[in-house]
Structure 1
Amino acid sequence: MALLRKELEVLAAKMMDGSISPVEQHRLNEWLDEQMVKDSYELETSFATDAEDLRRRMLVRILEVAQPVKAGKGLKSPFVWWSSAAAAVIILVLGGIWFFDGRLQTENDQIKSVHADDIAPGGNSAVLTMADGSKVELSRKQNGIVIAGDVRYADGSAVLASRVENQESKDQTNSTEAVAWELMSITTPKGGTYQITLPDGSEVWLNAASTLKYPSRFSGSERVVELIGEAYFSIRESVKKGIGEKDKNSTKIPFKVMSAGQTVEVLGTEFNITAYPDETAIITTLIKGSVQLCGDAAGTKVSLIPNEQGVFFNGNITKEKVDVSTAIAWKEGFFAFDGLPPETAFAQLGRWYDMDVSYQGNIPQVGFFGIIERSKPLGTILKVLEKSGVKFKVMQEHGRNQLVVISE
């Protein structure tokens, strides 16, 4: 494996200051292994008695051998330079144990390759957090829960033996105070998805690595939930009855979804929100009905009609016409790559297959196209994406899967 001179310097410096990633560490290890096969290097055992001193000496030596050769002094061959650099950063091998970056590691602890077809897709998985902070791991054999006084699975079987505390008999005029103490949440991990039917009958489908915070019952003049991640909402219209024979004063109760500086307000509609913390924008896609987007800081308001998508970025909201089937494909069990930027596509894979994503080289400047079932193993997905000219390798360290995207 070849490493450019500058790249070797960068990797060595990262190793010594502790900022090197597992994937970068693996690349440096591979290069060193190759050099050790070509030549034999020895270091005094006292050289490695102090981790900090070892780091300092290795960095100094690399910088020494990496200096350009002056004219008139003769040129070193590439092999000579690489051998010198290898000697500068060589790992101390004693009794089958590698002393590296201040740690003792056996060969079994090193990063190992993983066959992509062995990485299974995600499935039903979520954790329910009750008002008192207690947590319940929901059944993977079920696909959703219903909040209606008590908590049950979609098939009617009980999740909890005890009922969620009911405050129907209390006069609650302040909705914020009413729900604060009985706030609950449902969280899906990477590789997880789950459905929840809220107390008002509205339905929410959570994508992987997402959290929905909601009250155990809605009361007052509005229904408010908070979303981190991605979810599809199907909101049921709710009416607060007025006083009088014909209920002339009846009013519709709005439903609000709060997400990192944006509020979506609806009455009865279907829409999708993507609001992951590691992404720069919040994307709202309207399927049915109408919604109003509000930027909490600036107070900007934008209304959407079906087949429109709103993008909240840096406090501003823009909108455009879109094919909504792409935005909600995940809910139907598909990845929809319709010219999707690589970083967005790989982030989706990382969340669904529960793995970290890193890049070897530059981030590919290509668009991905295709519709693929999310039920397929990772290897199937990668074979499709490789048609765009991007290469991959899958590795594992300490039980954690990593997708390495390789580009020129």
Structure 2
Amino acid sequence: MSESEEQHKKRLIKRYKSGQASEEELRSLFTLLSLDELDCLMEEDMDEEIRLQRKGNGDTGGKRKMLRLQIAAAASILLVLSLGFYFFFDRNIEHYGQDKKAVQHTGRKILPGGNKATLTLANGREISLDDASEGDLAYDNGIKIRKSREGQIVCEVQEVKEGQQGLPKTANVYNTISTPRGGQWQVILPDGSKVWLNAASSLTYPTVFDENERRIEMTGEAYFEIAKRYKTTGANTQGNQARVPFIVKAGGQLVEVLGTHFNINAYPEEKVIKTTLLEGAVAVKAAGNRGRVVLRPGEEASFENNVINVSEVNTSQAVAWKNGDFIFEDQDLQTTMRQIARWYNVEVVYERLPDNIMIGGYVSRSNDVSVVLQAIELTGKVKFRIEGRKITVTR
């Protein structure tokens, strides 16, 4: 290891211990810890502290006790990091000296969800999209299922040409792609737009988009990257070629898009439909209502009881699921557990309802569920018991 690398790692440890580490520095530190690249430096750091304590005070019993607590805290954090997650811990060091029982678990491990979906064609035929191999897999009614060169599984919807498979180009035919609990999927629409579906979600779309409007309907949660599309005739008020709007219906909400990246969370069990804008611009309105709200990047529209409220948010939290993570920022426990239940396809029950327990932190969705629950347990606010596919929340 070069001197510059060693100094960099020592600086990360020093800034972490002083509480001055930035989020980026924390991520770097945690990555190094998970790769076991800081063990020697941490031991040297602890040895140096002991040497200084002995030099400054012959009686180091009290300081040794505190040091042991610090080491216990470091060990807890190392355990957490070795499992691939990070949560916001209590700043009180003695918090880590308390007895912490692991998640009580009976039965097999509950593994994370994966690429699972079902395509339901307009004629009622169902096609399982699970476990697709590389290359073109199927073609039916304008749907080509394939695995890309990069190993990404996609479902590509293609325009149905006149006379193809007995369907005229003007046929108003709709197909639906749905993911189960514990599933996710990516869809590439015929205009080049990309849609990622989270667990327990669905996307209904026409096999042929209208020339003046692209309209789809969804439930659950989806992330969109909408391609720009222009009308073959006509122009807008500035004399430029007019764009074909893209409209997403989710519950009682309509989102109109011209070309942008955004996320919609519209699960029926959630009270609020959330539309989060990352890039471009979208207009959000209630179905049947002429009034609308235009979002800017970094803003989120919350739709509840036919009322839309807009706020600035951390967009990384909204799209964490698409990037393979859970991110909880001051989020209530019940909302957190509903996210976990959908991704791991489990039942969640409460011995008693939690009292305003808020969760903060992030954890990879690639871990088995006990790892995720252990991260939450280490906050000291709640405990879990796993029996089969049922998770019981206790205090």
Structure 2 length as normaliser, TM-score?
Answer: 0.65
Matches within 5 A, 1:316-327: 316-327=307-318
Letter in 1 for 2:392: V
- Contact 2:134–2:148 (CA under 8 A) maintained in structure 1: no
Q: 1:310 to 1:405 in 2, by over 3 A?
A: same
SS in 2 for 1:119: coil
Asked whether 1:188 is paired with 2:179, we answer yes
C-alpha separation in 1, matches of 2:313 and 2:343 = 24
1:316-364 Cα shifts (integer Å, max 9, x gaps) = 0000000100110110000001111111100000000001111111224
Tell me which residue corresponds to 2:391.
403
1:153 aligned to which of 117, 135, 146: 146
- Contact 1:282–1:311 (CA under 8 A) maintained in structure 2: yes
C-alpha separation in 1, matches of 2:394 and 2:206 = 45
- Contact 2:154–2:185 (CA under 8 A) maintained in structure 1: no
Tell me which residue corresponds to 1:340.
331
C-alpha separation in 1, matches of 2:271 and 2:331 = 15
C-alpha separation in 1, matches of 2:383 and 2:234 = 67
Asked whether 1:209 is paired with 2:200, we answer yes
C-alpha separation in 2, matches of 1:385 and 1:355 = 17
- Contact 2:116–2:129 (CA under 8 A) maintained in structure 1: yes
Tell me which residue corresponds to 2:190.
199
Tell me which residue corresponds to 2:306.
315
- Contact 1:265–1:291 (CA under 8 A) maintained in structure 2: yes
1:250-299 Cα shifts (integer Å, max 9, x gaps) = 31100000011100001100000000011111000000000000111444
Asked whether 1:393 is paired with 2:385, we answer yes
Asked whether 1:292 is paired with 2:287, we answer no
2:213 aligned to which of 219, 222, 226: 222
Q: Which has the higher contact order (CA 8 A, sep 6+)?
A: 2
What are the ranges of 5 or more consecutive residues in structure 1 without an aligned counterpart? 1-112, 173-177
C-alpha separation in 2, matches of 1:253 and 1:164 = 16
1:10-49 Cα shifts (integer Å, max 9, x gaps) = xxxxxxxxxxxxxxxxxxxxxxxxxxxxxxxxxxxxxxxx
Matches within 5 A, 1:3-402: 114-115=105-106, 118-141=109-132, 149-155=142-148, 165-167=160-162, 178=170, 180=172, 182-242=173-233, 250-388=241-379, 389-396=381-388, 401-402=389-390
Offset at residue 159 of structure 1 (A) = 9.8
- Contact 2:154–2:188 (CA under 8 A) maintained in structure 1: no
SS in 2 for 1:285: strand
Tell me which residue corresponds to 1:45.
none
- Contact 2:117–2:129 (CA under 8 A) maintained in structure 1: yes
Offset at residue 167 of structure 1 (A) = 3.5
Q: 1:363 to 1:297 in 2, by over 3 A?
A: farther
- Contact 1:287–1:306 (CA under 8 A) maintained in structure 2: yes
Q: 1:328 to 1:159 in 2, by over 3 A?
A: closer
1:104-133 Cα shifts (integer Å, max 9, x gaps) = xxxxxxxxx853871100011000011111
Q: 1:143 to 1:369 in 2, by over 3 A?
A: farther
SS in 1 for 2:247: strand
> Once the two structures are aligned, what percentage of the paired residues are identical?
37
Structure 1 length as normaliser, TM-score?
Answer: 0.63
C-alpha separation in 2, matches of 1:373 and 1:360 = 27
What are the ranges of 5 or more consecutive residues in structure 2 without an aligned counterpart? 1-103
Letter in 2 for 1:293: V
Q: 1:243 to 1:274 in 2, by over 3 A?
A: closer
Letter in 2 for 1:166: K
Letter in 1 for 2:361: G
Q: 1:142 to 1:215 in 2, by over 3 A?
A: farther
C-alpha separation in 1, matches of 2:250 and 2:345 = 23
C-alpha separation in 1, matches of 2:154 and 2:187 = 13
C-alpha separation in 2, matches of 1:117 and 1:373 = 20
The alignment's C-alpha RMSD in Å is: 3.1
Tell me which residue corresponds to 1:78.
none
Q: Please, which moves more after superposition, 133-142 or 385-394?
A: 133-142
SS in 2 for 1:241: strand
1:133-174 Cα shifts (integer Å, max 9, x gaps) = 1000003346999999441214289999xx9853389997xx
C-alpha separation in 2, matches of 1:285 and 1:327 = 7
SS in 2 for 1:348: helix
C-alpha separation in 2, matches of 1:248 and 1:197 = 31
Q: Computing the radius of gyration over CA atoms, which structure comes out larger, 1 or 2?
A: 1
SS in 2 for 1:293: strand
Equivalenced residue count is 281
Q: 1:168 to 1:371 in 2, by over 3 A?
A: farther
C-alpha separation in 1, matches of 2:252 and 2:135 = 28
